[in-house]
Amino acid sequence: MHCASRSMLAVAITLATCWRSARGTLLSYKKMQSLMGRDFFSNFNFYTGADPTHGTVEFIDEATAWNEKLLSSSGSHVLIRSDNTTVLPEGQGRKALRIESKQRYNGGLFVIEMDHVPTGCGSWPAFWMFGDDAQHHWPRWGEFDIWETIHMQNYATTTLHTRKDCDQRAVNEGIDFEGQGWAVGTESNKAKNCFVHADAEYDNQGCGQKLQDGSAGPKFNSQGGGIFVAEWDPVVNKRLRTWFFPKTSKEYNELTVESRDTLDPDVFGMPNSFFTLNEKWCSSGHFHNMRMVFDVTFCGDYAGGTFQSSCPGVQMSCEEYVRTRPNAFSETFWSIRRLDVYQSDEATALWALEHPGPSPVFAILGALAAAALLGVVLYYYCSRQRMVAIGQALTAPVKADGKLQLPLQATRTGAGALVTSPSSRREVFIASEDSSGRAHAARPGEVEPAPPGLSLRRLWLLFCCASDSTLPPNQADGGTRPIGYDEVHPTSPTRTPSRTGEITPLPRQPALRKDGRAASGILVRAPSGALVDQDSGKVVVAAPSR
């Protein structure tokens, strides 16, 4: 392990880890979950789909399992059974359970105590972990079979199943682990390649290591069971290890008699299986977001292909045996006494460093951006309501002289200013007022139409120009504030806009001219392009130079 990292936190963690390594203790784990209890099954989802290993099985839901008395739980004991009473017709599978933890894990120490494991010719039980989701299909996030066996074998196997580039050639029996050695490939070779389609290995064989005799089967059950410990350390020491302690062992007593809120797996000695997650051989990224699984299937890809050699006294196929011999599966059940999950502070901290979540700064910026977007949408909506407030001006009839007849009550604060454009649109403005409350017509350079739609230019004009201030943005005495466009049907006698609505009640009346009449504030674009005041005929904005 290299005592280096990329930050002060990582340096502190790594130095502490190196100091502890020198003392022979690499990681200490704290208990985070104890899943035993009457609510044990609330921690799991019940899988009811087809068996991906093509077994002669029907995975059933929780309600059916309780109804058929295949489940039992108390404060200290959980039973998971398979159907052992029903003779099945051809094509039907035996009812059994596959449960998957609701929580996903990215490392930890997993401790399971059992006093009975499933056994029987044709059976294929396993306690394992795997990761997948809708975007990452198996084996993208890997599979870690902590305990797996078939038929009536008296030993279990620990196996990894992965995508490409996970090789265990650097791992050796007697140096890294002790047990019964490696599983054998198609050419009597040691199956050290974890890729599910590796050369010289059976399809989906993976890399497997056989645990010691008595770790499964009738022998495990007759000796009263035992404890399995599985360590998944993807970031500190980068390895996967398992230990098995039968009920008669000293370690079993230490793990069960004493209260264990913390565990240090290195005191257990050489593991019974060991797999490296060193980047050179098999990076830790091969395993991610994995769930714990208990399941029993029958026959299928593994147990079906080994049925005749493992159960030579049975003179029928595996599938027929499973369907027609229900009493053969009276021992095919789990009896679980303990299931605890421990986590390491060092591993958790380093995992956070190597897989950072969203930065708080980015989270704050994201929230501000969301608020700003909401403000823009609301302001845009409100700008539309401003246009509705002078909707009568948009529907005003055109007089013979080309001027518009504007209902005075339709204007907003000050005098409304309406400019007809060459296209079938009308640019809508609100005239400004000076500090004394007098309305002013537009001056050259102060009329800038707001473009249609939700554009950046429109938003800029809305925020900077269409405020309720009594002065325009350039602090001039007068001017207009553009608030947008609206569609007009040019052939309509009243030029009815495509967007209509009720006229918003106005708190203030339009400014009055010297003769006491209300000024309309209408600006009409002359053929030359100049903007002309409707009431006085005075050119307010000169025609653009050619």
In the three-class reduction of DSSP (H, G, I as helix; E, B as strand; rest coil), residue 297 is classed as: strand
> Strand 94-96 vs strand 57-59: parallel, antiparallel, or unpaired?
parallel
Question: CA 509, 514, 518: angle at the middle one, nearest 5?
Answer: 30
Q: Which two tokens stand for residue 478?
A: 């007068």
Residue 382 main-chain phi, psi, to 5 deg: -65, -35
For the record, the structure tokens of 302 come out as 């593994």
Q: 199 in the Ramachandran plot: left (φ > 0), alpha (ψ -120 to 50) or beta?
A: beta
Question: Are the C-beta atoms of residues 126 and 156 closer than 8 Å to each other?
Answer: no
Task: Enter the tokens of residue 36.
Answer: 């035993």
One of 148, 231, 319, 346 is an active-site residue; which one? 148
Catalytic residue among 100, 143, 231, 319: 143
Contact at 8 Å (CB) between 407 and 510?
no
Interior angle at CA 40, CA 38 and CA 46, nearest 5: 130
* Secondary structure of 380-391 in HEC code, one letter for each residue: HHHHHHHHHHCH
CA 286/CA 492 separation, integer angstroms:
69
Helix (H, G, I), strand (E, B) or coil at 265: helix
> In angstroms, what is the C-alpha Rg of the chain?
39
Q: Are 207 and 159 in contact (CB under 8 A)?
A: yes
Name the H helices within 390-455.
391-394
Instruction: Report the alpha-carbon angle 383-466-371, nearest 5.
Output: 60
d(Cα 299, Cα 68) in Å, to the nearest integer?
Answer: 23
Q: Is residue 448 flagged as an active site residue?
A: no
The answer to whether 148 is a known catalytic residue is yes
- Residues annotated catalytic, as ranges: 143, 148
